[in-house]
């Protein structure tokens, strides 16, 4: 069988050499034929046999071999879904949505019918659903309601090599489910990394290899370190586009801002070229997790005849999404990861050099449909001497407090007994628990308290008194400013603990705020950023909050009811909010976070002016006309800002009229 496949490959490669491009391949084949061409198809029977004979297996295969899209369908085809559903977890939301869509097309069913997906705040599944893609976070939350995951016949834990925090916690939980339910199966899939470790964790379960089918990739390094990798990548992409043979380009950047900058610069170069002479067409396509789903889907579409695709992606394109037809990869060598910053006392997304394993994975993307080339915008010495051999699991770089809170919220009582694949030192766990206790997040017996660290203290026997005390601090426009008000008053009362008690405030929370404040001051000093006070002009503070939280903005829809400006999901003012308390319902708010209890509540909301959103969050309007490209959005931005100001003006007029009446 392998041989037949390779012959097919040779034919395929030739077909590409003729310059027909992979898109023509996709066009000329039905979806069913494309399915049969995938490497996993050649070992379908063997794989199903191993699954039948074992309760847990690890499946290893190159990216693009068909693990994510095919495995679930095979399980459905041979009847596993007759009693229960097949769930497949993904560390990334984009992958969950995109893959579910693809599989629903292959199975010729509506998305949300037989095939669906669930991500936070969005459940596109129904009573017919037998294959369900979801983020690992969603499955974790499901274990809260149903600790044995009764409705699942099989769980495929996909992309386990990513070692996200949720994946690692799921490992421990699913191991228990496997022990309790004989009728339950678990399949762990992974790119080549880590397979043995996964197998060992579940008690030396079989590792099944999907035969690889990749072409050689030539790797070229930068001679000197690249100072501006956006510029470097744009230059390289243009050079490829103008001088090299047909084949699509994939550029790895770290995040949305850089991706947009890169796309914009590429578009500009193309326009300059077009004005001089006839240039070949280049289709520039961004992809990152916050991009609206319909724009994300565009990376899979065929370019018009003769055009070359250039996809500019985050590390989402490293393993989670596979686009066929890539012959050139440009790797900046950087990616964003969440790391715990002990100075700030919180997790932050930071740009870091990727690991050697990740760099090799990126390069491999160029060799899927024919021999390719990878341009590394860093030196060979950086690759060999500066990059880590493999990525560090999230559990080892996040604040352990997060892990403790997550496990506690999942009702896991004895954390020291939890079955971690890489257990954090017990001492560190105890330390985190102590810190959470100090903050009031855990009570004396180590259970989560009702309110995870709030500054306001609300004892059950003095609810009315404490609510009245809290209201005295309210600042009409903002919960954030309400907190600032509390802090200011605490300062003028000499940071006294008894003052806090009298006013129903947790002194521990305020002390933490004071600590963070002094750390921020240190950082400003180190960076030589001059300190100025806004004095009494607290609008400046609201504007600063807006500049950081415009992605969490919501527009007034009905009484106390808001909708998220970008995603349209409903959200409500929390009854404890100052805005709610004073009955103030501004047209636009930003909020710190959404919490889902009885409804989706906005936690810590602040009223903002719509023109701030337009100025500070230039991507803010991308939802409305989601069928145009990002680059066009940039151009339209200015237009929209004017429109927004006009809308504001008319709003103001309406207000004035009201007042006159
Ligand atoms: P793996 O999980 O092993 O990396 P996948 O199952 O994700 O492989 O991909 C198998 C094939 O399906 C690839 O050739 C990929 O290009 C194709 N594919 C996956 N998702 C989509 C999609 N949304 N649109 C078009 N093709 C897709
Ligand atoms: Mg996959």
- Rounded distance from Cα 69 to ligand 1 centre (Å): 6
Ligand nearest to the CA of 320: 2
Q: Pocket residues for ligand 1 (CB within 6 Å)?
A: 38, 61, 63-70, 98-99, 101-102, 300, 322-324
CB–CB of 295/626 below 8 Å?
Answer: yes
Residue 228, pLDDT score:
93
Query: For residue 324, which atom of ligand 1 is closest to its CA?
Result: 16
Ligand nearest to the CA of 365: 1
Q: Which residues contact 555 (CB under 8 A, 6 or more apart)?
A: 562, 563, 565, 587, 588
Query: For residue 368, which atom of ligand 1 is closest to its CA?
Result: 14
- Rounded distance from Cα 646 to ligand 1 centre (Å): 45
Residue 405, pLDDT score:
85
- Cross-strand bridge partners of residue 590: 553, 606
Q: Which residues contact 353 (CB under 8 A, 6 or more apart)?
A: 333, 334, 378, 382, 386, 387, 388
pLDDT along the chain (661 residues), means of 10: 30 40 58 91 96 97 91 97 96 90 96 94 92 95 89 96 89 95 95 84 95 87 92 96 93 94 95 79 91 85 86 90 91 86 62 91 90 96 92 82 84 87 85 79 80 76 89 93 95 94 89 86 89 90 90 85 83 89 89 76 90 76 40 56 66 61 51
CB atoms within 10 A of CB 165: 21
Q: Which of the 8 DSSP states describes residue 456?
A: B
Nearest CA to ligand 1 atom 7: 68
Kindly state the tokens that stand for 180.
């309790």
CB–CB of 358/325 below 8 Å?
Answer: no
Nearest CA to ligand 1 atom 10: 66
Test site for ligand 1: of 66, 105, 133, 365, most ligand atoms within 8 A of the Cβ: 66
Taking CA atoms, 90 is separated from 8, 67, 164, in Å, by 31, 12, 10
- Rounded distance from Cα 78 to ligand 1 centre (Å): 21
Query: For residue 101, which atom of ligand 1 is closest to its CA?
Result: 23
Residue 621, pLDDT score:
43
What length is written for the chain?
Answer: 661
Q: Does the structure's ipTM exceed the value 0.95? A: yes
Query: For residue 102, which atom of ligand 1 is closest to its CA?
Result: 23
- Rounded distance from Cα 632 to ligand 1 centre (Å): 28
Cα first-last separation, the chain? 83
Nearest CA to ligand 1 atom 5: 66
Nearest CA-CA partner of 189 in 76, 61, 103: 61
Residue 284, pLDDT score:
95
3-state secondary structure of 536: coil
Nearest CA to ligand 1 atom 18: 322
CB–CB of 660/596 below 8 Å?
Answer: no
Query: For residue 63, which atom of ligand 1 is closest to its CA?
Result: 4
Ligand nearest to the CA of 65: 1
Query: For residue 65, which atom of ligand 1 is closest to its CA?
Result: 3
Q: What pTM was computed for the model?
A: 0.68
């Amino acid at each position: 069988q392998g041989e037949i496949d390779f012959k097919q490959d040779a034919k395929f490669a030739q077909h590409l050499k003729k310059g027909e491009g992979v898109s023509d391949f996709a066009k000329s084949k039905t979806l069913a034929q494309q399915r049969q061409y995938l490497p996993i198809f050649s070992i379908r029977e063997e794989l199903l046999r191993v699954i039948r004979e074992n309760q847990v297996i690890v499946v290893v295969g190159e990216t693009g071999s068909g693990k994510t899209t095919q495995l679930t369908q095979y399980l459905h085809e041979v009847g596993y879904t007759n009693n229960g559903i097949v769930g497949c977890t993904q560390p990334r939301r984009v992958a969950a949505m995109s893959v579910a869509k693809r599989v629903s097309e292959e199975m010729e069913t509506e998305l949300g019918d037989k095939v669906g997906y669930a991500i936070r705040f969005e459940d596109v599944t129904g009573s017919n659903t037998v294959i369900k893609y979801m983020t690992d976070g969603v499955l974790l939350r499901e274990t809260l309601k149903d600790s044995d995951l009764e409705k699942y016949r099989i769980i495929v834990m996909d992309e386990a090599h990513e070692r996200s925090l949720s994946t690692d916690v799921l490992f421990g939980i699913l191991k228990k489910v496997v022990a309790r339910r004989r009728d339950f199966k678990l399949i762990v899939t992974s790119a080549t990394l880590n397979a043995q470790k996964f197998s060992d964790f579940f008690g030396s379960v079989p590792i099944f290899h999907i035969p690889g089918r990749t072409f050689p990739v030539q790797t070229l390094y930068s001679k000197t370190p690249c100072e501006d990798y956006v510029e470097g990548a744009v230059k390289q992409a243009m050079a490829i586009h103008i001088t090299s043979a047909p084949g699509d380009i994939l550029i790895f950047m770290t995040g949305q801002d850089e991706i947009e900058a890169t796309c914009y610069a590429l578009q500009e170069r193309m326009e300059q070229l077009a004005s001089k002479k006839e240039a070949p067409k280049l289709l520039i396509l961004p992809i990152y997790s916050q991009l609206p789903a319909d724009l994300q889907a565009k990376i899979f579409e065929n370019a018009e005849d003769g055009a070359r695709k250039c996809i500019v992606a985050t590390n989402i394109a490293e393993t989670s999404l596979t686009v066929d037809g890539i012959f050139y990869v440009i790797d900046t060598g950087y990616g964003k990861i969440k790391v715990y910053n002990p100075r700030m006392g919180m997790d932050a997304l930071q740009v870091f050099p990727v690991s050697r394993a990740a760099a090799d994975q990126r390069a491999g993307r160029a060799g899927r449909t024919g021999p390719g080339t990878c341009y590394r915008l860093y030196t060979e010495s950086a690759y060999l001497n500066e990059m880590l051999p493999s990525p560090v699991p999230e559990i080892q770089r996040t604040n352990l407090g997060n892990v403790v809170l997550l496990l506690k919220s999942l009702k896991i009582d004895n954390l020291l007994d939890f079955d971690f694949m890489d257990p954090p030192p017990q001492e560190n766990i105890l330390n985190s628990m102590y810190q959470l206790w100090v903050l009031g997040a855990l009570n004396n017996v180590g259970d989560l308290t009702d309110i995870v660290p709030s500054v306001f203290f609300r004892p059950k026997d003095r609810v009315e008194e404490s609510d009245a005390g809290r209201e005295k601090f309210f600042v009409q426009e903002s919960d954030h400013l309400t907190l600032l008000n509390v802090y200011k008053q605490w300062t003028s009362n000499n940071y006294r603990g008894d003052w806090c008690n009298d006013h129903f405030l947790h002194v521990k929370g305020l002390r933490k705020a004071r600590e963070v404040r002094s750390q921020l001051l240190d950082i400003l000093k180190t960076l030589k950023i001059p300190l100025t006070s806004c004095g009494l002009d607290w609008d400046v503070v609201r504007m600063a909050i807006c500049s950081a939280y415009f992605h969490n903005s919501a527009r007034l829809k009905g009484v106390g009811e808001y909708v998220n400006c970008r995603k349209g999901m409903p959200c409500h003012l929390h009854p404890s909010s100052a805005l709610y308390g004073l009955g103030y319902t501004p047209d636009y708010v930003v909020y710190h976070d959404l919490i889902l209890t009885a409804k989706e509540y906005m936690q810590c909301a602040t009223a903002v002016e719509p023109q701030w959103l337009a100025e500070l969050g230039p991507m803010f309007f991308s939802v409305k006309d989601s069928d145009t490209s990002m680059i066009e959005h940039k151009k339209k931005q200015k237009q929209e800002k004017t429109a927004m100001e006009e809308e504001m003006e008319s709003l103001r007029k309406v207000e004035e009229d009201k007042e006159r009446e």
